[in-house]
Amino acid sequence: MKLWLATNNEHKKRELEQIFSGHILVTPASAGLVFDPDETGSTFIENTLIKARVLYDLVHEPVIADDSGLCVDALDGRPGVFSARYGSTNGKKLESWERNALLLKELEHETNRKARFVCSMVALFSHDRFYVVQETLEGEIIRESRGSGGFGYDPILYLPERGCTVAELSEDEKNRISHRGKAGKALAKLLTWYE
């Protein structure tokens, strides 16, 4: 089945291609479409549906969308839905390493380091017909970045049970245990009902 991905993020596309391996995944950018929805939701699910519906209105074909981020207990769940825009000023987004450094600075004197990645993912077939899944990957924020794999906050989310950061996982292992991997696998199972 052909599925449109409501993202122009190549990292996400590569991860999702492994999870939805039996499907053809197409991004708006690869089809020459302008896709830059306003993520005005206050939850991951709201933002996921916003992105899915905007892309659906452009293509009128099944869409996969996700919204994900890092939620830190000591920061009352921040950066949360603002993870990609954390620390941005005047509309200028920070690079991943800058966001990581800012977060580590904000937590410098904090002892509660519990945090999690959250991923909400939707398969949308029309505005009113869709499946939504939300998953997490639990961990804690370490004091300095470690690892070169992954992207975003991966180098600072430490997984105590594995003794490494998400950025130190192999790509296959990350896809197996990550918030996006778990949500994607659950959604892929739901898609078999649709086909």
Q: Is the pTM of this model over 0.95?
A: no
Chain length of the chain: 195
The reported pLDDT for the residue numbered 9 is 82
What is the pLDDT confidence band of residue 144, given thresholds at 50, 70 and 90? very high
pLDDT exceeds cutoff 90 at 80: yes
**How confident is the model over 147-172, as a mean pLDDT?**
93
Residue 55, CA atoms < 13 Å, CB-side half-sphere? 31
- Residues annotated as catalytic (active site), given as ranges: 67
**Percent of the chain whose predicted confidence (pLDDT) is above 70:** 99
The reported pLDDT for the residue numbered 78 is 96
| Residues making up the binding site | 7-12, 38, 67-68, 151-154, 174, 179-180
| Residues making up the binding site for Mg(2+) | 38, 67
Question: Kind of pairing, strands 157-159 and 129-141?
Answer: antiparallel
Token pair listed for 69: 């981020």
Separation between Cα atoms, residue 165 and residue 43, nearest integer Å: 25
**How confident is the model over 119-145, as a mean pLDDT?**
96
pLDDT exceeds cutoff 60 at 193: yes
The reported pLDDT for the residue numbered 194 is 64
Residues β-bridged to residue 141: 157
Residue 178, CA atoms < 13 Å, CB-side half-sphere? 30
Spell out a b/e string for 149-181, using b for 16 or more CB atoms within 10 Å of the CB, else e: bbebbbbbbbbeeeebbbbbbeeeebbeebbbb
What is the pLDDT confidence band of residue 146, given thresholds at 50, 70 and 90? very high
The reported pLDDT for the residue numbered 56 is 98
Domain extent for 152: 2-194
pLDDT exceeds cutoff 80 at 170: yes
pLDDT exceeds cutoff 60 at 41: yes
Token pair listed for 146: 């470690």
Three-class DSSP category at 138: strand
Query: How far, in Å, are 104, 115, 143 from residue 109 at the CA level?
Result: 9, 16, 10
* Tens of pLDDT, residues 51-60: 999 999 999 9
* Count of domains for the chain: 1
**How confident is the model over 95-106, as a mean pLDDT?**
95
The answer to whether 73 and 112 have CB atoms below 8 angstroms apart is yes
The reported pLDDT for the residue numbered 149 is 85
Q: Where do we find the tokens 């639990």?
A: 138
pLDDT exceeds cutoff 70 at 195: no
The answer to whether 37 and 28 have CB atoms below 8 angstroms apart is no
| Residues making up the binding site for substrate | 7-12, 68, 151-154, 174, 179-180
The CATH number of residue 105's host domain is 3.90.950.10
The reported pLDDT for the residue numbered 192 is 79
Q: What is the mean pLDDT of the chain?
A: 93
H-state helical runs in the chain: 10-19, 44-59, 96-106, 171-177, 179-194
